[in-house]
Amino acid sequence: MTHPRYTDLANALPSTVPFVGPETQERARGRSFDARLGANESGFGPSPAAIRAIGEAARGAWMYGDPEMHDLRRALANHLGVEPDAVIAGEGIDGLLGYIARLLVSPGDAVVTSDGAYPTFNFHVAGFGGVLHKVPYRDDAEDPEALVAKAAEVGAKMVYLANPDNPMGSFHGAERLAAMRAALPGGCLLVLDEAYVEFAPEDDLLPLDPSDEGVIRLRTFSKAYGLAGLRVGYAVGHPELIRAFDKIRNHFGLGRVAQAGALAALADTAHLARVQGEVEAARRRIAGIAEANGLLPLPSATNFVALDCGGGAVRAKALVAELGRRGVFVRMPFAAPQDRCIRISAAPEADLAVLERVLPQAIAAIG
């Protein structure tokens, strides 16, 4: 009688958490991980300037943040070489994906992604009643041609591509992306998730073009900028699409502290360059550890390396569990045949030394 009357859609949705956090695993095992290598966080940390800015903003945290995010949007626009009306920031790429799904997806609408691509995108599409159509990876990379073909076939309202890709680390250059864009069916939005873009070849990125209504680009302070715990993502697109976020977004959702931290992080280009260098070195180090243990490292344009464990999903899954038991938090792809791999985040040497010590033990344990 007093039971709330949920929408039909809400009744049909499961209560779920797209990712189990490492904290949940730590609570289950009764102690902390020794190396946190599973969420592609940046153990190299945020810019010291960002840390200072957050601490200073804390004193002024009694004030709401600017709902227009004026300074941050201008700084981002300046950084990207676009106009401020082509940029919006929000509660991480996750939050922005939710807003995009809400703007475009009605129950029954078709949306295309890759089998094994980012689950939180799927969570949001399903959350608005969209119907997901998936195409397989091809050669351990998302397959632009197949995505476009599927989008045309099902009349998709949007198609998702992460480039560089998570969880495999693969990357498509500007030419391939431009061809994908050109082949996109009319009225289908390309949602280009570039969470890892700072680790990709800078001279081979699809140029930003906010005059194009067919593409929205998503970037974040959670990876290269080391601010995952601050939750700041941003989108770059056509001003009309960017303005549409104002129809639905939580206008005060990105607080004063988050805006201040992101602004300072963006300005510290030296820190970013240092992290990029550290990540490159860490990828080589991870590859070396993998090879010393008979695992095959895949090429990566991100801050992680996928390692082919050589025994299919069963072996990879066992290895993830054994590493976890021994204090090393890692994750693995969801879909076959990528789930033959485990995924290791770039991290400082202290963490990778733990990996180097523990990996042979874990491999020995699974036999």
* Least distance to a second copy, CB of residue 323, Å: 18
Q: Residue 318: is it exposed, middle or buried by C-beta count within 10 angstroms (0-12/13-18/19+)?
A: middle
Residues numbered 37-96 forming contacts with a second copy, rule: CB under 8 A: 39, 41-46, 50-51, 54-55, 57-68, 70, 91-92, 94-95
Measure the CA–CA gap between 359 and 172, rounded to whole angstroms.
31
Of 174, 178, 248, 364, the residue at the interface with a second copy (CB under 8 A) is 248
- Residue 23 binding a second copy, by CB under 8 A: yes
Measure the CA–CA gap between 359 and 347, rounded to whole angstroms.
15
Residues numbered 310-339 forming contacts with a second copy, rule: CB under 8 A: none
Instruction: Find where tokens 């931290």 sit.
Output: 261
Measure the CA–CA gap between 246 and 250, rounded to whole angstroms.
8
* Least distance to a second copy, CB of residue 303, Å: 11
Residues numbered 130-149 forming contacts with a second copy, rule: CB under 8 A: none
For residues 26 and 32, the answer to whether their CB atoms sit within 8 Å is yes
Total of chain residues touching a second copy, rule CB under 8 A: 91
Q: Which stretch binds a second copy (CB under 8 A): 2-10, 143-151, 286-294, 332-340?
A: 2-10
- Residue 30 binding a second copy, by CB under 8 A: no
Of 112, 230, 282, 362, the residue at the interface with a second copy (CB under 8 A) is 230
* Least distance to a second copy, CB of residue 207, Å: 17
Q: Which is nearer to a second copy, 161 or 298 (CB)?
A: 161
* Least distance to a second copy, CB of residue 49, Å: 11
Pick from 80, 298, 85, 97: which is nearest to 198 by CA?
80
Q: Which is nearer to a second copy, 165 or 351 (CB)?
A: 351
- Residue 235 binding a second copy, by CB under 8 A: no
Which of 148-163 are b and which e, b meaning 16 or more Cβ less than 10 Å from the residue's Cβ? bebbbebebbbbbbbb
Q: Which is nearer to a second copy, 82 or 258 (CB)?
A: 258
Q: Which is nearer to a second copy, 28 or 367 (CB)?
A: 28
Measure the CA–CA gap between 109 and 122, rounded to whole angstroms.
13
- Residue 174 binding a second copy, by CB under 8 A: no
Of 213, 314, 350, 364, the residue at the interface with a second copy (CB under 8 A) is 213
* Least distance to a second copy, CB of residue 162, Å: 17
Strand order of the β-sheet with 158-162 is: 87-90, 233-236, 215-220, 189-193, 158-162, 110-114, 131-135
Q: Which is nearer to a second copy, 134 or 256 (CB)?
A: 256
- Residue 108 binding a second copy, by CB under 8 A: no
- Residue 351 binding a second copy, by CB under 8 A: no
* Least distance to a second copy, CB of residue 307, Å: 22
Of 8, 139, 202, 203, the residue at the interface with a second copy (CB under 8 A) is 8
Q: Which stretch binds a second copy (CB under 8 A): 19-27, 310-318, 319-327, 353-361?
A: 19-27
* Least distance to a second copy, CB of residue 70, Å: 6
Measure the CA–CA gap between 266 and 59, rounded to whole angstroms.
21
Pick from 126, 124, 88: which is nearest to 253 by CA?
88
Token pair of 262 as six digits: 């992101």
3-state secondary structure of 44: coil
* Least distance to a second copy, CB of residue 274, Å: 14
Please state, in angstroms and as integers, the Cα–Cα distance from residue 204 to each residue in 168, 218, 225, 327, following that order: 19, 17, 21, 38
Of 86, 89, 257, 328, the residue at the interface with a second copy (CB under 8 A) is 257
Pick from 225, 215, 238: which is nearest to 195 by CA?
225
For residues 307 and 298, the answer to whether their CB atoms sit within 8 Å is yes
3-state secondary structure of 112: strand
